[in-house]
Amino acid sequence: MKKQAVKSLRVFAIELAVYAVLVTCYFFLVLHLLGNWLYHLENQHRYIYAGVALLLIVGQAVVLDAVTTLLFRLLRGRWR
């Protein structure tokens, strides 16, 4: 039981580390590129900005959920 818990924690720590690297890349690439464009959109086309904002958060939710699920499966499979 204890061995299993240690194993689970180790897999979770690796998952978090891999996820952190991915998220850091995401900050620098996507947010940096989108920042100015979204700022101008928010100032000039509020209605389009509202739609884009919702699409972005929904899209990110779907993608990140898929990424974490994939990471989870890959690492669990490797450490089993």
Partner 1 sequence: MFFPISHADINPIYLVVVGFIIGIFGGFFGVGGSFIAGPALRLMGVDWNYAVGTDLAHIVGKSIVAAKQHRALGNVDLKLGLIMALGTIGGAECGAQLIQALKRAGNVNTVVSYVAIVVYTGIAAFMLWESQKTLRTYKSRSKISGDIDPKKDRSAFGPVTRTIQRLKIWPMIALPTSGIRAISLWTIVLVAFVGGLFSGFLGGGAGYIRMPSMVYVLGIPTHLAVGTDLFEIVISASYGTITHAIKGNVDILIALVMHTGAVIGAQIGVVATQYFAGPKIRLAFVPLPLIGAAIVIYTLMTGHKL
The residues that touch partner 1, with contacts defined as CB under 8 A, are 16, 19, 23, 26-27, 31, 34-36, 38-39, 42, 46-47, 49-54, 56-58, 60-62, 64-65, 68
Which of residues 62 and 74 has its CB atom nearest to partner 1 in the complex?
62
Residue 48, Cβ density class (10 Å: 0-12 exposed, 13-18 middle, ≥19 buried): exposed
Quote the least distance from Cβ 78 to partner 1, whole Å. 19
Quote the least distance from Cβ 3 to partner 1, whole Å. 19
Quote the least distance from Cβ 35 to partner 1, whole Å. 6
